[in-house]
Structure 1
Amino acid sequence: MSTADVSSKSLSEIISLTGRRAVVTGGGRGLGKAIALRLAEAGADLVIGDVKEELAASAAEDIAQRHGVRTIGCVMDVTDTASVSAVADRAVAELGGLEIWVNNAGIFPSVPLLEMSDETWDRVFDVNARGTFVGAREAARRMAAAGAGGVIVNIISTAGFRASAPGLAAYVGSKHAARGLTRELALELAPLGIRVLGVAPSHVPTEGNILAAADVAPSPDGLPPTPLMLNGPIGRTGVPDDIARVALFCASDLSTFMTGSTLVADGGTIA
């Protein structure tokens, strides 16, 4: 199955997600909610999955009130295959289908390498790498069954391209894995009409990132911790909506001739 040629459509038609159904993992707050808001503004109906059910429910209610789309909030643990599968099934059963899946959920504890336990390493990879794999697989299964293609968007990080700061070995490793997985998924799923793209933001001020920035491990030489949020050449740090607009580009037909790429949204900090 090939992706459609949308050259004859208007810009408003190409960017519209009206009639499409999306799942956003880790969508209860921060970057995930910002992405969900833009997808909803473009017309998509949504399932907001979050490990904290109250955050998912609150975000779903807020998005529905703002944009008038059908929105479901539900508890979701990306490390639990049954939980991910249930959310995918709920999207199909209650919204009528699934065309967009955003793997956004992630964790980033800062632990110096010599102090890092096997359990911490495994937990980070379980959420950031395996969670991306399971979400993509479950989404692709539903998309393939429907036979109409779809888009999977993996939220990576600039840590998928370089080392970020001391203490983030597990995070950096997991995000490199997720970026490589994005390329392989794109290759395998292209015959099904399913595109797979990554978005690699720098650290932007979300609730989780602010806490992480305050908890960065010190450098081994005793110097102050490496700051995670930096002004790039464009002169400011990013905000969640800067990343959400790139995710919307990936999810819409604006990017219909793209798959396998990871788009860096970092204000030029790794240019």
Structure 2
Amino acid sequence: MTTADVSARPLADLISLAGRRAVVTGGGRGLGKAIALRLAEAGADLVIGDVDADLATTAAEDVARLHGVRALGCAMDVTDSASVAAAADRAVDELGGLEVWVNNAGVFPAVPALELADDTWDRVFAVNARGTFVGAREAAKRMTEGGAIVNIVSTAGFRGSAPGLAAYVGSKHAVRGLTRELALELAPLGIRVLGVAPSHVPTEGNLAAAAAAPHPADQPPTPLMLNGPIGRPGVPDDIARVALFCASDLAAFMTGSTLLADGGSTA
């Protein structure tokens, strides 16, 4: 399937997701909810998945109320392939199809490398790396007319991040590589695969991780959300706008890339 030349289409049409159906994993709060809100504002109907079903339901209600789209919340554990497939099926069965999938769910426990247990390592990779692959696989199976898969990577997919994040950094390098490989394999199906790599932004999860990060007892925690060259830390909507760009036809000629959304901190 060849990606269409969209040069003649107006800008408002290119950014619109009207008539498209999207799934956002880990969408109950933080980056995932911000992304869901922007996709909905662009016109997409949504399935919002989260391991916390109540958060997913509340987020879906908020999205539907604010933007007048159809939005469904569901329990989703990205380490369980059947759970991921069920969410994908809901998009097809209840919304009518699937064109956009955002792999946002992630975990980032802070454990020094010499104390990092095998099961913790495996858990991080199960959520961050395998969960991304399973989400992309199940989405691609259902994207019968092409589509876009957006993987939330991290600046940790480009470099070391902070003490205690060996599993997280390893898993995000894996997601960045997976993005490139899936772009090659899925291009013949008309499916684009892009990554978005945020720096740390003050979401509920990131703030908790920053507080829990290992540090000397006589020193305060190392701040993870620093001002880069742009002069301020990011906020969730900074990342959501880039995810919307990737999902929309504005990025129709892009696949395989991971876009840094980091205020220049990785420059």
1:69 alignment partner in structure 2: 69
Counterpart amino acid of residue 45 in structure 2: D
Matching of residues 245-264 of structure 1 within 5 Å: 245-264=241-260
State the shift of 1:225 in Å: 4.4
Matched, 1:241 2:260: no
Counterpart amino acid of residue 211 in structure 2: A
2:154 alignment partner in structure 1: 157
Matched, 1:35 2:35: yes
Does the 8 Å CA contact 1:166/1:226 hold for their aligned counterparts?
Answer: no
Counterpart amino acid of residue 189 in structure 1: L
1:4 alignment partner in structure 2: 4
Q: What secondary structure does 1:162 align onto?
A: coil
Paired with 1:202 and 1:152, the residues of 2 have a C-alpha distance of 20
Distance 1:222 1:115, change over 3 A: farther
Unaligned runs of 5+ in 1: none
Counterpart amino acid of residue 175 in structure 2: A
Aligned residues, how many? 267
Paired with 2:49 and 2:117, the residues of 1 have a C-alpha distance of 28
1:14 alignment partner in structure 2: 14
Matched, 1:124 2:96: no
Distance 1:195 1:225, change over 3 A: same
Matched, 1:48 2:48: yes
Paired with 2:219 and 2:38, the residues of 1 have a C-alpha distance of 40
State the shift of 1:218 in Å: 2.0
State the shift of 1:222 in Å: 8.1
Unaligned runs of 5+ in 2: none
Counterpart amino acid of residue 173 in structure 1: G
State the shift of 1:227 in Å: 2.3
State the shift of 1:228 in Å: 1.2
1:269 alignment partner in structure 2: 265
Q: Deviations over 1:152-195 (max 9, x none)?
A: 00000000000000100000000000000000000000000000
Paired with 2:159 and 2:12, the residues of 1 have a C-alpha distance of 36
State the shift of 1:224 in Å: 5.4
Matched, 1:183 2:180: yes
Identity %: 80
Q: What secondary structure does 1:214 align onto?
A: helix
Paired with 2:186 and 2:220, the residues of 1 have a C-alpha distance of 45
2:222 alignment partner in structure 1: 226
Paired with 2:104 and 2:31, the residues of 1 have a C-alpha distance of 8
State the shift of 1:226 in Å: 3.5
Q: What secondary structure does 2:234 align onto?
A: coil
2:163 alignment partner in structure 1: 166
Q: What secondary structure does 1:195 align onto?
A: strand
Question: What's the TM-score once normalised by structure 2's chain length?
Answer: 0.98
State the shift of 1:9 in Å: 0.6
Counterpart amino acid of residue 229 in structure 1: M
**What root-mean-square deviation, in Å, do the aligned CA atoms of Structure 1 and Structure 2 show?**
1.2
